[in-house]
Amino acid sequence: MIPISPADVEACVERLRDLIRIPSVNPPDGGVDVAAGRDPRGGETAVATHCAEELTAAGIAAEVIEAAPGRGSCFARLPATVADPEPPLVLLSHVDVVPVDAESWTHDPFGGELVDGVIWGRGAIDMKDMLAMELGVLLALHRSGAERRRDVILAAVADEEAGGEFGALHWVRTRPDLFADGAGRPAAAALNEVGGYPIHLGGRRFYAIQVAEKGILWTRITASGTPGHGSMPHADNPTVKLARAVTRLAEARQPMRLTPVVEAFLRGMGMDAVADAVARGAEDELAAILDAGLPDPVMRRSLDAMLRDTVTPTILRSGKKMNVIPGSGDGEIDVRTLPDTDQDAFLAQLQAIAGDEVTLSAVMAMPPVEAPADAPIVDLMHAALRRADPEGTPLPMMITPGTDAKALALLGIPTYGFAPLLLDPDTPFLSLFHAHDERVPASALAFGLPVLADVVGRFVIAR
């Protein structure tokens, strides 16, 4: 297997701190306000270059390629060493992070500070921690000199936070060879962000292994009207039309339903009452069960979102001056769909709810993805977690956000969320994504690095 030493863990912690200090904010043209006074332009390329330089110095072939100036991704490969190799494994991560509101942070969001054993900064959870661990595993595998029965590909890509047009989606469309072996066979699997974290419930730990994620249907809403003076109100006001429409959309709660992965996840955690309430369509009963059984409000929201299509208005734009009724306005709605939802039909349903005062149109539509939960690599994840934490119970699950798994699915590559971390019950893991004061305990990396190495080693090293 891949040996991981205390020095490797220490190097991983320092690597994460270094990565956080590079302000790879997406969008990179948002100005210094989105990056705590730093210039985010070229940040993605800077992170990719930082990774490539460390790998190259260790003797691993790595390259930085850009889909556009400053939008760089790092690709590296440890080739198989056996005569008849199996298809590759991809270690997938993204180098971009979301903007920050620096005044709301306890510590510098790009300082990479280590305070009382905790690493603070944007990307600590989403997802430079996984990138730091993947780099550590690749370096340790190379250093071990073990025979490899498949290529191991590191893909640290740009633009995940905006859909991947300058990252995974771009490279899947233009350079599928980056995710394949020399014979053109796509990777057998990819390991990605989010999964592998513990859920504390009823005094037990459950490790969520991501095998599925909801679909994305980012939607634009537009309205037009008659411009005029604000002192003379009239009914043909696009601002009012938008407000009415988004209120109707937000209040039209979609019906709940069970998908197989979510039902297995619920029942595996002993939450049969939740699954049974959903099966009966008992909304009020479900709310009461969740309120009583899940003290974490973010976990309650996450679980509820696993049970239905969701429609979340996020941006409204209308008017440029207080005393001018605008002639038009628009907004954006974050729509997420369950695996069995027909996205075209659902958009038509939303249009009917919004009404004929506005028009809805899809900005980006990406279907849900699901990978086999009984695949050999998933068995390795279960076994590695049990070895590291015999009291924990791994369970496949579906996440509600989207990841670059959707891009790799276009190549037929099953992608699993497995960024293993051991966190105490007081660490608000789900609340830290895209939030103020993003942080991760160094002890979580000390747990996760050898677990990730265990899975990679058993999947890759020749027996």
239-254, pLDDT tens digit by residue?
Answer: 999 999 999 999 999 9
| Predicted local confidence at residue 105, as pLDDT | 97
214-366: CATH topology is: Alpha-Beta Plaits (3.30.70)
| Distance, first Cα to last Cα, the chain | 10
| Predicted local confidence at residue 297, as pLDDT | 87
Q: Which two tokens stand for residue 451?
A: 């677990």
| Predicted local confidence at residue 100, as pLDDT | 97
Q: By the 8 A CB rule, do 436 and 458 touch?
A: no
pLDDT band at 390 (very low <50, low <70, confident <90, very high): very high
Backbone phi and psi for residue 87, each to the nearest 5 degrees, phi listed first:
-60, 155
pLDDT band at 152 (very low <50, low <70, confident <90, very high): very high
Going from N- to C-terminal start, the domains of the chain cover 6-202+370-460, 214-366
Q: Between residues 298 and 128, which one has the greater pLDDT? A: 128
Mean pLDDT value across residues 255-276: 95
| Predicted local confidence at residue 430, as pLDDT | 84
| Predicted local confidence at residue 341, as pLDDT | 95
Mean pLDDT value across residues 258-271: 95
Question: Domain 6-202+370-460 has what CATH class?
Answer: alpha beta
pLDDT band at 378 (very low <50, low <70, confident <90, very high): very high
CA distance 114 to 104: 18
Other beta carbons less than 10 A from residue 177's beta carbon: 11
Site of tokens 């049970």: 307
Q: By the 8 A CB rule, do 215 and 344 touch?
A: no
Q: Which two tokens stand for residue 33?
A: 């306000």
Q: Give residue-wise pLDDT tens across range 213-248.
A: 999 999 999 999 999 999 999 999 999 999 999 999
| Predicted local confidence at residue 463, as pLDDT | 81
Can you give the pTM of this predicted structure? Answer: 0.94
CA distance 332 to 161: 16
- The yes-or-no verdict on residue 457 having pLDDT over 90 is yes
| Predicted local confidence at residue 411, as pLDDT | 98
CA distance 235 to 357: 11
- The yes-or-no verdict on residue 296 having pLDDT over 90 is no
CA distance 448 to 439: 15
| Predicted local confidence at residue 299, as pLDDT | 86
Q: By the 8 A CB rule, do 11 and 146 touch?
A: no
| Predicted local confidence at residue 426, as pLDDT | 87
Mean pLDDT value across residues 400-424: 96
Q: Give residue-wise pLDDT tens across range 34-71.
A: 999 999 999 999 999 999 999 999 999 999 999 999 99
- The yes-or-no verdict on residue 16 having pLDDT over 90 is yes
- The yes-or-no verdict on residue 421 having pLDDT over 90 is yes
Query: Which alpha helices (DSSP H) does 235-372 contain, by range?
Result: 238-251, 260-268, 272-280, 283-293, 297-305, 343-354
Give Cα 330 to chain centroid, integer Å.
27
CA distance 74 to 48: 5
Mean pLDDT value across residues 18-40: 96
Q: By the 8 A CB rule, do 37 and 102 touch?
A: yes
CA distance 258 to 241: 34
Short-list 290, 287, 281, 289, CA closest to 258: 281
Q: By the 8 A CB rule, do 287 and 277 touch?
A: no
Mean pLDDT value across residues 184-189: 98
